[in-house]
Amino acid sequence: MRSSMRQVLCLAVGCFCAVNAFAAAEPERVSFNRDMRPIMSDTCFRCHGPDKNARMAGMRLDIREEAIRPARSGRTPIVPGDPDKSEIIARIFASGAKVMPPASAHRELTEKQKDTIRRWVAEGAAYEGHWAYQPVARPAVPAADPSRTKNPIDKFIQDRLRRDGFMPATPADPRTLLRRVTLDLTGMPPTPEEMRAFLADDSTNAYEKAVDRLLASPRYAEQRTMHWLDAVRYADTSGFHGDNPIPAWPYRDYVLRAFANNKPFDEFTREQIAGDLLPNATLEHRVASAYNRLNRTSSEGGLQPKEYLAKYGADRVRTLSAVWLGSTMGCAECHDHKFDPFLTKDFYAMKAFFADIQETGLVPDRGARAWGAQVQLPSDEQQRQRDALESRLAPAHARLEEKAAAIPASDERWENDVKTRWQNGLLAWTWQHPIDARALHGATLTIYDMEPIESNYYIDGTLQTATRPGDGLVVASGANPDNETYVVTLTPGAGTWSQLGVDVVQDESLPGARYARGADRFLLSEIDVELVEPGVPPRRLTLSMATVNDAPPAAPSSNTDPSMPPLAAIDGDARTAWGIRFGEARDPFLAVRFAEPVQTTAESRMIVTLRHESDLRSASIGRFRLALSADAFAWPPVGDAGRRARSNDASGARTWASGLPEDVMKALRRPAEDRCYWAVLTCPRHSVQLARALHRFRYATPRSPLRNRFPQAATSRLAALGSLPICRLFAESPVR
């Protein structure tokens, strides 16, 4: 591949031509593909070509056997070797009503085109098939002046110049040569250092050495990759509907490596079209087969799945035929191809080749099923870390499962205790009313407590508009810096608190997924909490756990992206962050647990700092509320229940009448004697009954010593490793 490229580039020394008078040019034999096909496609084939519905006089000129056969009038359109007896020559040189093409076609042949047609007929009217279907033949190298040539390619150039009556231009100066070849191979001009080194090289092969250096450069691989990715319709987004991001970049890197390592083209082809089907397929083979998943996809909820499966299959046929066959089969999707030898049957036969791809018409762009089949691509170091963390977690999980299984299913006393605490509001969240809120980098924070504010939000998928008191709502406005830090001061009053809650409030006015002031998501890098008591230095509170009001990332309904886990908000690393890109009809709620209960008095102040320090610009939360919970394991409600369930408790404080996972609340609402039976009837798909959810939740109470046995650092780091790169695959499951 590179040797041929080197030969082509070396001719740059002498192949830039100037127009000069030369000896009389000898005429070149007319080529059908080069000279005749463009003329006839433009002026003849419309009425005398492959379209039988538009064909005039029953005459075809696109097939030699038809063109040399006498027509119904008795005249022969083309008589090879005898232009004077050929009807097409008589008609193109005619005048008036007999001239072809007729005036109604709005096409007119030039004198040069007419002469070309005459010469072609005189030379025997040789037809040629489509270039893509002709066998590759090595032509004989023509004779040329050896003083003007450095390789066989130069001889072809010199021969053509001689026949066309041109003289070669003088060689370009070294500075121009290096600039040309560097732009051609890398897409960028040479650096000053590269230019100085080239000009200082007096060796006879200085240019060849420069070409070798450029071919070995990563920039060369990037330039070749750019063209290939355009051909195979690569993109970082889905194309249809919301055009949301897709993690296809591992395929891009595969192509970069292929060009950088000069991978043979036959291997390059097999790995992309069927890499996952190769015997003992490697990880690289499977990534390469993601080529088959580069087509545009849609996650629009109202689409017709079979319609989009048809779109995806047709896209693959068009791409493969254009890239590998040098033909466009797209026309044959609706009718037999009018110019190439493809029938509609051929189009769908090739489409059937891809029928074993495991895919759906609606391709989710979030949750566990996002983008279809996936494969994780950990680095060696990431895999070592993951194995070590999982080995530390395994014993703790085993102890939890063993103890949970040992709890009798009829533990009615504990269930009733949880139910009583829940009904009495002991698991509820208490909304805070900040006394101060400020931003450190230019934004303006406004507290809406009793003041009315207009809100536009979704409930159950329907947009609602309301103007009501803000109830502790903090709204960011004004300047919108790339990174921002919010500092909010609370007066929680006398009490004991185990958790801090951050309720991210959606609103249609916010451009970042209705949550953020910019970007396409919010990213909360870190949360810091300080307790300020009168006469005592501020004390920073340690945060030990973070959860969200969402299903786990592995659940199909989850909006939690594994690359933005809640634990990232308390891991002390500004490079990681908790965030949400999507989430119609719900307000994300982050529950952050204190390492130990926090006692406050009426004079206590709690200062909460929310840091947005990601590389993504303006990914700052636009609206939020803060809440506190006395129970260390109070669970924030999921989805719309959170907005609807806000109510006053007996003390008059604003609370959430929640605090338990939805499954647990459903089970507790049933009479004790039929909780297990009801769980089996209503949730047959669950491998664990809802009653067992109660038992598992029991282990999440402060009374259980098991919670202290979990290696917290391991849990946090394993969650951070959840952002391993993934790549959409051709097919993970066996071929149907």
> Span 42-68, mean pLDDT?
88
Instruction: Return all residues near 300 (Cβ < 8 A) that are at least 6 apart.
Output: 240, 241, 242, 362
Which of 244 and 185 is assigned the larger pLDDT?
A: 185
pLDDT of residue 726: 44
**C-alpha R_g of the chain:** 37
pLDDT of residue 556: 56
Specify the DSSP element, H or E, that contains 573.
Answer: none
Termini Cα distance of the chain: 37
pLDDT of residue 460: 63
Measured CA angle at 573 (ends 369, 504), to 5 deg? 60
Between CA 276 and CA 292 the distance in angstroms is 11
Q: In what order do the strands lie in the sheet with 605-612?
A: 436-439, 484-490, 605-612, 526-532, 539-540
Instruction: Return all residues near 90 (Cβ < 8 A) that are at least 6 apart.
Output: none
CB atoms within 10 A of CB 289: 27
> Span 544-561, mean pLDDT?
71
Q: Are 522 and 503 in contact (CB under 8 A)?
A: no
pLDDT of residue 27: 66
pLDDT of residue 250: 93
Using DSSP bridges, classify how beta strands 495-504 and 589-600 pair: parallel, antiparallel or unpaired.
antiparallel
- SS3 label, residue 604: coil
Give me the residue label for tokens 């659940």.
555
Question: Which tokens in the block code for residue 317?
Answer: 């046929």
How does DSSP classify residue 256? H
Q: Are 602 and 395 in contact (CB under 8 A)?
A: no
Closest C-alpha among 376, 367, 65, 148 to residue 244? 367
pLDDT of residue 414: 73
The least confident of 27-31, 38-42, 112-116 is 27-31
pLDDT of residue 491: 96
pLDDT band, very low/low/confident/very high, at 485 (cuts 50, 70, 90): very high
> Span 94-114, mean pLDDT?
90
pLDDT over threshold 50, residue 70: yes
Closest C-alpha among 372, 352, 371, 248 to residue 310? 352
pLDDT of residue 191: 96
pLDDT of residue 734: 29
Average pLDDT score over the chain: 82
DSSP string across 708-731: GGS-HHHHHHHHHGGG--EEE-S-
Specify the DSSP element, H or E, that contains 522.
Answer: strand 522-524
Between CA 700 and CA 268 the distance in angstroms is 52
Using DSSP bridges, classify how beta strands 473-478 and 623-629 pair: parallel, antiparallel or unpaired.
antiparallel
Burial class (CB in 10 A: 0-12, 13-18, 19+), 636: buried
The least confident of 16-25, 123-132, 526-535, 633-642 is 16-25
Q: Are 588 and 463 in contact (CB under 8 A)?
A: no
Angstrom CA distances, 268 to 91, 136, 180, 226, 540, stand at 51, 20, 29, 16, 57
Q: Are 495 and 630 in contact (CB under 8 A)?
A: yes
pLDDT of residue 654: 56
> Span 412-433, mean pLDDT?
80
Between CA 139 and CA 123 the distance in angstroms is 20
pLDDT in tens, 262-271: 999 999 999 9
Angstrom CA distances, 403 to 1, 396, 690, 724, stand at 64, 11, 17, 32
pLDDT in tens, 535-552: 899 999 999 999 888 765
Between CA 6 and CA 12 the distance in angstroms is 10
Which of 734 and 76 is assigned the larger pLDDT?
A: 76
β-partners of residue 629 are 429, 499
pLDDT in tens, 661-694: 766 777 777 776 655 544 444 443 333 344 444 4
> Span 692-699, mean pLDDT?
44
Q: Give 639-644 contacts, CB < 8 A, sequence gap 24+.
A: 639/549, 639/585, 639/586, 640/459, 640/460, 640/585, 640/586, 642/503, 642/549, 642/586, 642/587, 642/589, 643/457, 643/459, 643/587, 644/459
For 98, phi then psi, to 5°, come to -85, -10
Between CA 631 and CA 79 the distance in angstroms is 98
Instruction: Return all residues near 570 (Cβ < 8 A) that are at least 6 apart.
Output: 526, 527, 543, 544, 545, 546, 592, 716
Closest C-alpha among 386, 358, 391, 388 to residue 372? 358
Beta strands in 10-106 (DSSP E): 17-18
> Span 545-569, mean pLDDT?
76
pLDDT in tens, 222-251: 999 999 999 999 998 889 888 888 888 999
Between CA 696 and CA 694 the distance in angstroms is 5
Which of 53 and 65 is assigned the larger pLDDT?
A: 65
The least confident of 186-195, 333-342, 727-736 is 727-736
Between CA 415 and CA 431 the distance in angstroms is 27
pLDDT band, very low/low/confident/very high, at 323 (cuts 50, 70, 90): very high
Between CA 4 and CA 1 the distance in angstroms is 6
Question: Which tokens in the block code for residue 105?
Answer: 């076609």
pLDDT over threshold 70, residue 77: yes
Give me the residue label for tokens 């070396």.
10
pLDDT of residue 241: 85
pLDDT in tens, 348-361: 999 999 988 888 99
pLDDT in tens, 701-724: 333 333 333 344 444 444 444 444
Instruction: Return all residues near 485 (Cβ < 8 A) that are at least 6 apart.
Output: 439, 440, 441, 609, 610, 611, 612, 613
- Look at the pTM and tell me if it is higher than 0.95: no
β-partners of residue 516 are 512, 621
pLDDT band, very low/low/confident/very high, at 509 (cuts 50, 70, 90): very high
pLDDT of residue 420: 80
Question: Which tokens in the block code for residue 518?
Answer: 């910019």
HSE, side-chain direction, 13 A CA sphere, residue 13: 17
The least confident of 48-57, 109-118, 467-476 is 48-57
Q: Are 492 and 606 in contact (CB under 8 A)?
A: yes
pLDDT of residue 21: 37
3-state secondary structure 449-515: CCCEEEEEEEECCEEEEEEEECCCEEEEEECCCCCEEEEEEECCCCEEEEEEEEEECCCCCCCECCC
Q: Which of 44-58, 241-255, 275-289 has the highest mean pLDDT?
A: 275-289
